[in-house]
Amino acid sequence: MIKRREFIRALHAGLALGLVSKPSLAAWLQPETHVRMQDELAYHTIQSISFRAIRMQYPRFVGKNARLDVHGFGPRLDACVLTTDKGAAGWASLRGGRNDAQRLVPELVGKKLSDVFNLAVGISDDRYLPFDMALHDLAGVVLNKPVYALLGRDTPYTTKYYSGMIYFDDLEPAHAPGGIDKVLNECRYDYEYGYRQFKLKIGRGNRWMSQKEGLARDIEVTKAVAKAFPDCEILVDGNNGFTVDEFIAYLKGIGDTPLFWIEEPFHETVADYRKLRDWMRAANVSSLLAEGEADPDPALLDTLMQQKLMDVHITDIEGLGFTNWRKLMPSLIRYGVQASPHAWGSLLKSFYTAHLAGGLGNTVTIEGVTSTSDDVDLSGYQIKEGRLIPPNAPGFGLTLLT
């Protein structure tokens, strides 16, 4: 599989989607307005860059998926703060490690903000990807606009918001597994929190149970959650833990239980996705097929989309980068493919996605990573009727508390 660095190179070469559209100014951003706002960015010079750790805490222990062992109680993230000579400050989590970012500090400090960030595009060079989110935040702060408004929407598009917190917690703790009731209790917590979509991890038979027992448990969990929460939509994520035949057996096992989407059930190939899509059509299963998170191969994804074998593109919001997602979205629209950038691990990534979706639309749902933090004020974002609503505050609307 091709790695994200090659994916980004291919994106710029036009390979990833056959023909990548050139970025265009947002509808409200007329040439004279663009010049004036770029001049405002040019008034600011990056004076300093500092780094800090941000702790995000999940409300519960998160267990295994089809490939990986337990995920724990939440990450410690590296973040950066960019401050200008006029006193404006923007911050965000880093893409990649702190060491890579620190090597870029001498190159960024002393530059005008307009030299490294363009309203119509985003960052001016992929070298600045570690600071992609922070530069978007800083531009929003300088211009007193939320990031979604920089992308063209005074009032953001909003979309569905799913809980991505439901792992194989029926298998935990190992000495006294909680069983399906534990999963149902977690869904009940998430329902009260405001979610109306649940993404269930499946593929227990890949590592943690026998294939037969794991398949039976996957089916049982899916049916139980759908029955207990009839007003909610179910998404499933196999983390490439099935063969195509095993996954079709799963679909047969859940019968008429509807699935909003199916995510990465097996290592993607055109032949296997054709077999799955053909079976789904014959069985009248209309679930969306979501691909592109695990080591995305741009040429293969392009083929899957051309052949209508993929409905949702889910490459990570930080892995690909906010700027590159902005470049990617028009081509997805031409393909008739929707977006839902992977956000697992960090609620901050969910919030960044809310601005991407808010400004550009074409986002079918957003991955939720329920968290609290003593380091960041997260209260500006609200869940209303199962949708994530970003705040009308400058930048990403997030304030550091320490």
> Which tokens in the block code for residue 225?
């959650």
| Residue 30 CA: distances (Å) to CA of 25, 33, 34, 116, 152 | 7, 5, 6, 21, 11
- 89: helix, strand or coil: strand
Boundary-marking domain end, from 113, 144, 175? 144
CB–CB of 108/116 below 8 Å?
yes
Average pLDDT for 150-178: 96
Kindly report the CATH number assigned to the domain that includes residue 339: 3.20.20.120
Convert the pLDDT of each residue in 165-204 to its tens digit: 999 999 999 999 999 999 999 999 999 999 999 999 999 9
CB atoms inside a 10 Å sphere around CB 206: 19
Please indicate, yes or no, whether residues 289 and 179 belong to a single structural domain of this protein.
yes
Q: Quick one: pLDDT band at residue 296, thresholds 50, 70, 90? A: confident
Average pLDDT for 300-317: 96
Q: Name 377's bridge partners.
A: 399
Boundary-marking domain end, from 116, 144, 172? 144
Please indicate, yes or no, whether residues 262 and 194 belong to a single structural domain of this protein.
yes
pLDDT computed for residue 17 by the predictor: 40
pLDDT computed for residue 3 by the predictor: 55
Question: What is the C-alpha radius of gyration for the chain, rounded to an integer number of angstroms?
Answer: 21
pLDDT computed for residue 386 by the predictor: 98
Q: How many H-runs (helices) and E-runs (strands) does the chain carry?
A: 14, 17
- Residue 13 included in any domain: no
| Residue 363 CA: distances (Å) to CA of 316, 319, 329 | 13, 17, 9
pLDDT surpassing 70 at residue 10: no
Q: Quick one: pLDDT band at residue 27, thresholds 50, 70, 90? A: very low
pLDDT computed for residue 303 by the predictor: 96
Boundary-marking domain end, from 90, 113, 144? 144
pLDDT computed for residue 358 by the predictor: 98
Convert the pLDDT of each residue in 55-73 to its tens digit: 999 999 999 999 999 999 9
Q: How far is CA 318 from the centre of its chain?
A: 8
CA 239/CA 309 separation, integer angstroms: 18
Backbone angles phi, psi at 307, to 5 degrees: -90, 10
pLDDT surpassing 80 at residue 28: no
Please indicate, yes or no, whether residues 178 and 294 belong to a single structural domain of this protein.
yes
Choose among 153, 225, 237, 150: nearest CA to 195: 225
Q: HSE of 110 in the Cβ direction (CA atoms, 13 Å)?
A: 4
Residue 43: give the domain boundaries.
Answer: 26-144
Please indicate, yes or no, whether residues 164 and 106 belong to a single structural domain of this protein.
no
pLDDT surpassing 50 at residue 205: yes
Q: How many domains, the chain?
A: 2
Among 94-103, 224-233, 391-400, the range scoring the smallest mean pLDDT is 94-103
Q: Name 79's bridge partners.
A: 52, 93
Please indicate, yes or no, whether residues 79 and 220 belong to a single structural domain of this protein.
no
pLDDT surpassing 80 at residue 23: no
- Residue 19 included in any domain: no
CA 52/CA 80 separation, integer angstroms: 6
Convert the pLDDT of each residue in 345-390 to its tens digit: 999 999 999 999 999 999 999 999 999 999 999 999 999 999 999 9
Q: Which residues, other chains included, contact 129 with Cβ-Cβ below 8 Å and sequence gap of 6+?
A: 8, 95, 96, 123, 321, 323
More confident call, 19 vs 226: 226
For residue 194, with 0-12 CB atoms within 10 Å meaning exposed, 13-18 middle and 19 or more buried, which class applies?
middle
> Which tokens in the block code for residue 106?
């001498």
- Residue 3 included in any domain: no
- Residue 327 included in any domain: yes
- Residue 339 included in any domain: yes
Q: Which residues, other chains included, contact 342 with Cβ-Cβ below 8 Å and sequence gap of 6+?
A: 293, 314, 315, 316, 317, 319, 349, 367
CA 81/CA 49 separation, integer angstroms: 6
| Residue 20 CA: distances (Å) to CA of 54, 297, 328 | 35, 16, 7
Among 27-41, 202-216, 228-242, 282-296, the range scoring the smallest mean pLDDT is 27-41
Please indicate, yes or no, whether residues 231 and 318 belong to a single structural domain of this protein.
yes
Convert the pLDDT of each residue in 226-239 to its tens digit: 999 999 999 999 99
pLDDT computed for residue 7 by the predictor: 57
